[in-house]
Amino acid sequence: MDTPALSIVVVSYNVAPLLERCLAAVLAERVPGGHEVVVVDNASTDGSRALVRERFPQVCLVANEANVGFARATNQGLALARGRALLLLNPDAEPQPGALAALLAFLGSHPDAAAVGPALRNPDGTPQRACFRFPTLPMFFLDLFPLHPRLMESRLNGRYPAEQRGRPLRIDHPLGACVLLRREALEAVGPLDEGYFIYCEEVDWCWRARRAGWEVYHVPQAVVVHYGGQSTRQAPEAMFVALYRSRLRLLERHYGPVRRAIARAIVRVGLLARVAAAGVRGLVDPTARAEATRWWRVYGAIFAG
């Protein structure tokens, strides 16, 4: 069997309608050299598996009996993928016509590229941030203590002003909704770190790739509509805990001891500030007491162990 130019790995969890749109979009694309799709389903209960089997029989389906997390499920898909390039695609992401070919063409013309990411659009067509700098202490602070919107969209908060100029640029990492990887880079850098259940896997991988001498790029000529957070919003409290546990793991792997200690202190103070603010509101609004309890529960879960 011929080796396809591209393998697309989609990890899905209870988003059948969006998974259907995603698969229809990628299978309709004409990719030079051909492409294949691997769906890894993390124990969905919404009919996602039946949808794939019935509507998309050409897709390779891995049906997990439990939700094993994004990184582990992605690695399952990558182990089955045969393509010379490998696209990690969220089921709530819908590549627009020509996007896959544009990403492949850029990867082919830039041998130093380990990964490339597209421009992202909201469903209404407005731009969505698609590339970021690696986390810094100011970014940890601004995430928990948001200030003026202009500051939130600045370099200080990890944004790339050049993202909107319509030209490719070197970046630290793309948003993980859609990332094209070079197989040779994946083999050199290694798979995703399965210590991350969800969130930050792509940041960690790109950090490792950059340290190994590879580059990462943003390619605005490829456009992907991203509906965003469709799986994670099913359990917002648990996902907030998972986000910050992943961020703490990320800094343990990539920060020195002093910066790690400062970042952990920022997270602790930020979460305790939310507990305190809800507690104060609870003095006049009894419904806010439950919010204080929730934030205290979140704090404990993030720093457990």
Q: Extract the tokens encoding 94.
A: 């819908």
Mean pLDDT score of the chain: 94
Closest alpha carbon to 198 in 43, 113, 73: 73
Give pLDDT, residue 60: 98
Does domain 6-232 bear CATH number 3.40.50.620?
no
The sign of the torsion formed by the CA atoms of 228, 235, 66, 302 equals positive
Question: What share of the chain has pLDDT > 70, as a percent?
Answer: 97
pLDDT at 54: 97
In total, the chain counts a number of residues equal to: 305
Q: How far apart are CA 77 and CA 86, in angstroms?
A: 10
Q: What is the rounded distance in angstroms from the CA atom of residue 40 to the CA atom of residue 78? A: 10
CA–CA dist 102, 61 (Å, integer): 26
Measured between alpha carbons, how far is 89 from 117 in angstroms, rounded to an integer?
Answer: 10
For the chain, the domains span 6-232, 255-302
Query: Which pLDDT score, from 0 to 100, does residue 164 have?
Result: 80
Question: Above 80 in pLDDT, residue 147?
Answer: yes
Q: Which two tokens stand for residue 168?
A: 């490719």
pLDDT digits (tens, 9 = 90+) for 224-278: 999 986 655 667 899 999 999 999 999 999 999 999 999 999 999 999 999 899 8
